[in-house]
Amino acid sequence: MIAIAEKLAAEFPYARIDLYEHQGRIYFGEITHYPGAGLGVFDPPDSTACSAMSWLHGTKIPERYYAG
């Protein structure tokens, strides 16, 4: 399973690969590209609304929310 996960994650800077073993067979669950299991906190809090608007309506996220 480690070899499979490493191969699937090789192209990404971060990837959590969910694989499952049942009765000797390996099953793929998902690839997650961000840490935190969906429990991360957006800072500032209003950045959550901007992300939602982007996902729902394709609007651009203001540059003030970009890290760096």
Q: Is pLDDT of 40 > 70?
A: no
Helix (H), strand (E) at residue 54: helix 47-57
pLDDT at 8: 94
Question: CA 58 → CA 23, 47, 52, 53, distances in Å?
Answer: 43, 15, 9, 7
Q: Give me the residue spans of the domains in the chain.
A: 1-35, 38-68
Rg (CA), the chain: 17
Asked if 8 and 19 count as a contact pair (C-beta separation under 8 A), the reply is no
The mean of the pLDDT values for the chain is 83
Q: Is pLDDT of 68 > 60?
A: no
Q: What pLDDT digit, counting tens, does each position of 16-38 carry?
A: 999 999 999 999 999 988 777 66
